[in-house]
Chains A and B, each alone.
Chain A
Amino acid sequence: MKKAILICTCSFACPSMKDIDFAELSEKIRLEIPEASYMVLHPRICERNGEEMMADLLKEGVIYYTIACKPEKQEKLLRDGFQKAGVIMERDKNWVPISVQFKNTDQVFEEIERALKNGGE
């Protein structure tokens, strides 16, 4: 199954994400995680503009790794985007949430790397 990474940067303004350099993180993912077919950086996936992107982008047959706030929060905030895309959101099947809160760039990168190398196909 194809693997895609959706990164929500929370407008680069969330205090809980202050230790993450999103530019460095995305470039490391691009260069060092070939398992990811592609990656999208968005300032606020959970809001209207992000949901519209999800509606256009999401499809069956892809595992989406969402890099954002804590999983329980993501589940509430991203549900509408999946729904607009007509894709059923199933945790650990086509949707793998990864929290970036209170972590630094290296910690987040390692977690994403581990998830993509071990999870899914």
Chain B
Amino acid sequence: MASNSYMGIPREKIPWYPAVDENACTKCSTCLDFCANDVFEQGEGSVEVVRPYNCVVGCSSCQNVCPSGAIRFPDMRQFVETLKKLREEYRNK
């Protein structure tokens, strides 16, 4: 069952969530409609990431549907290394 941890690591310790380039964002709302977990909200200048830790770890689907390419995620290869270190850190906690 899903919880607020991932592979034994508290979700808030995992740096995986989108970043929106406010210059590229056209406020079209595609990402808001697409994400079921309310990660985004419409802001003044662009869509904003308001609930980053609702983002499913490793999911970057919103990036694929953004028509203006305004959404970015961490580099997956680097992220896997980060995750390995976090797993090690939390293994015996």
B37/A18 in contact, CB under 8 A: no
**Cα distance A46–B57 in the bound complex, in angstroms:** 14
Count of chain B residues with a beta carbon within 8 Å of a chain A beta carbon: 15
**Cα distance A93–B61 in the bound complex, in angstroms:** 26
A76/B65 in contact, CB under 8 A: yes
The answer to whether A69 has its CB under 8 Å from any CB of chain B is yes
| Residues of B near any A CB (own CB < 8 A) | 1-3, 6, 34, 36-37, 54, 56-59, 61, 64-65
Sort A-B residue pairs by CB-CB distance and give the 10 closest, nearest first. Answer: A18-B2, A16-B36, A14-B56, A15-B37, A13-B56, A101-B36, A13-B6, A21-B1, A13-B57, A15-B54
30 of the cross-chain contacts (CB-CB < 8 Å) are A10-B2, A10-B56, A11-B6, A11-B58, A11-B59, A12-B1, A13-B2, A13-B57, A13-B58, A14-B56, A14-B59, A15-B2, A15-B37, A15-B54, A15-B56, A16-B36, A17-B2, A18-B2, A19-B1, A20-B1, A22-B1, A44-B58, A44-B59, A69-B36, A70-B36, A73-B34, A73-B36, A73-B61, A76-B64, A76-B65
